[in-house]
Structure 1
Amino acid sequence: MVEPGGRNRPRWSWIERVPAAAVVGALAVVLGYLTRVWVRASAGPLVWNDSADYLASAHTPLWSVDRLLGPRPILMPLVLSASHLSLEHLVEAHDAVAAVSWGLLAGVTAGCFRGGWRPVVAGGAVLVFSLTWPITMWDQQVLTESLALSTFALLAAAGVWFARHRTPARGAWLVVAATLWLVARDSHIIPVAAVGLGLVGAAVARFTGPRRTVVLTGGFLVAVAFLAAGSAQYGHRDRQPIEHVYVARVLPYPERVEWFAHHGMPEARALEALPEVVDPGGLHATYTPVDAAPAWDRWRAWLDRDGRRTLLAYTAAHPSYVWSEPEEQPERVFNNGVGLATYRPLDLHEVPWIATVFAPGVPLVAVVAAGAVTTLVVRRLPWTALATVGAVLALTSAPHALVVWHSDGMESARHLLVPTVQLRTGVLLLLLAALLGQRPREICPPSS
């Protein structure tokens, strides 16, 4: 006679109790890592001008003010320190961190569905999206993009996990993931603060609960965003970007120079007389470079002290500037190359076709988003945690992108990478919720 649960149970029966989401997530980590190693093809690290700043920061003492509140966000220098300042080790860390981060998002997404094939399709879609070249190409480069995208995937996974069951522990993980994303790049302050305020408002209005947990989670998100903003301000990390804005969007235009001169900008006449850089082919906008000569120290001191405030005053006096300036053609930026492809490594392998399907242009992504929402309504599906997080990511990507574009006048293609990936990730989650979602009666059909 065999006792219940006794010794004759098959040795590997525990496998049946492993959640499908965990299996999908683990496979996504392994497949993602192996693919990223293949994509990089053992090519060496790519170094850019900004790389030197991160290396310099990584040479400062770990707990020094220069490290914690310095001219660069702290995550990249921290990973460089953990890599013993080896750029080879850094790009290997990029591969591993990206594989784990996107694998977690694939697993959490898979966990939102029931049935034998739905979790696999959902997790597989996230995995394939994470392997498109606009995402994988940054693992080889000594820049913040790889870590920014990986910590974004962690944040998205934590967001879905929290939205499904709003417990204090999951709220804490969401705050930790948001903090990691914030210390990767300063521009992430906008969506984190927006989500935090949204959570607080939703809980106060009793749209969601438990009220205390949601309010505390939202409050902590706002707090860490505020701390990140303070760190950026203390380290004067907006000093060079704001100069780029003036170089590309103020100095080439006499009427704007006159307005800023009337509002305190020094050396206006001398700056207006500087020669502009003009593209003979008309593909790039003109800009007015200002050299590093001491003659411009007074102007740069004014920029550091009053430049952003005066630019905001100009925006208030000319409200259409916010949306009309990004629409100008050619785009009013410089050092932008031919767009995102400028940064693509020459030796990069690519999984065929996936970028065409999973990384289309923003207008097509907007059409897909509208179709996903329509499908949710037509199919009468419940607005699940996955759909909610997808919508939040997509909606907050717009102000994120707008602030990123207006905060710098150089390399807009690279700087807009994270908001664009944020938009595509949100729409992908929405689309999965619309296409794979089930009504409650389909998940648990009534007994006959």
Structure 2
Amino acid sequence: MRSICLTLPTNRHCPDTITALGAEAAHAADHFDIDVHLLVLDSCPAEDRAAHADALRLLPDHPRITVHHLDEAAQRDFLTRVTARSGSTKPGLLLDLMLPDGLSYGACTNRAFLIAAALGCESVHRRDSDSRYQSMDGCTVFPVHHELLSLGARAADAVPHVTESTLTGALLERRVAMVGSSFVGELSVDIARIRDADPDVYRDVVSLWAPEDWSAERKHALVEESFTGAGTEPFAADHALLTVVDPMRVDMCNIAFHGATVAERVPLPPARDTIGSDYFLIHLVHDARLPGVLHNRNIVNYHTGERRTGPGFLAYQTRFAKFLLSMLYFHFVYDRMAEAGDALLDEHGRARPGAVAALARESTGLDTGENVRRLDALDTAYRRLGGRYADVADHLAGRRAHLLDEARDDMADFALLTEAWEGMVTAARATPVELPEGQPR
């Protein structure tokens, strides 16, 4: 019987989300011949962790669901043992990249990848704490249903389980590496208030994540599409498309990756305090022409209050600025991956970490002039907005050189982690996951 890892990384109070995740795990176990490891990676303060533990204890017992609730101390213990066994000459650096002192969207998911490998799981199914499931006719619409119908199967064998397919020829012999959908509700990046305050400034700001040499028309199209997900239309009926999935059509709050093909081969960039750093594998799957399923069980996205007031607002806007700077390097890597195509895969149809690491390392030699101009444009836009956005501009101006260096160094860290990833996955498979005292089961 195969095992899967349904995971929720969180740094915020979310017992209701955990309860809903438990219901999704039960749906998976009741409808498929699988064991479910429900993994909550908890970076919250003690009071919130206790509330999460209570929510997990209240989940109905199920013979094929095992709950793992790991605080950062337990995660660090596991990762310390993994990095020591990985064969790397820099285990301390790898540990810092896996559990950094600061927020990292990529690192929290990388931890789930390694723990899933340790638990013997074939796939990782990720959800976010600031989202919730849709329902129809009183029934919750769980994405895991589509994920388990196809993920890891030969694409040709997945055809009966989808509504339609665009794949032909040799692509049908490859494994389904990713199944995902998007979201409805609020923008995925919390910048709607910029749009409401000044649509022209919004267009100027959002266009900064495009390559500098794009035409005005392409940038305009990107702005119109960016961060909107699947819009606001509620779920009405299932639809699933077997295809090479467009990265703009899926979101990391609603995604599943096959381990042996992708997640155990290449990690996510571990950049700190950078929005969007966890979307890399979506692009890799696309550029390598690995099959995927795009379904429409979209998750409802919403934003929590800490991003909009006081220090939380400044921190979030800084993460957004770092996202814009990261795109200089990511666009370079994405373009080269698109050119490489099938060369990104080995003879078994699995992602080649060496090819990805080489491109990431090459990108660190790029001239930073484009990013200097990005910061100039962002400064102008935020000062035009005034108020607390002007305060953000002041903050970014004071860290200008540091931000430019960080964006480059983040890619160097990604290259290093990718080079070490196979050894870390192998070590994880031989490393038991030790649960803190008081685990419910």
Q: TM-score, normalised to structure 2's length?
A: 0.29
Bigger helix fraction? 1
Q: Which structure would you say has the larger Rg? A: 1
Q: Which has the higher contact order (CA 8 A, sep 6+)?
A: 2
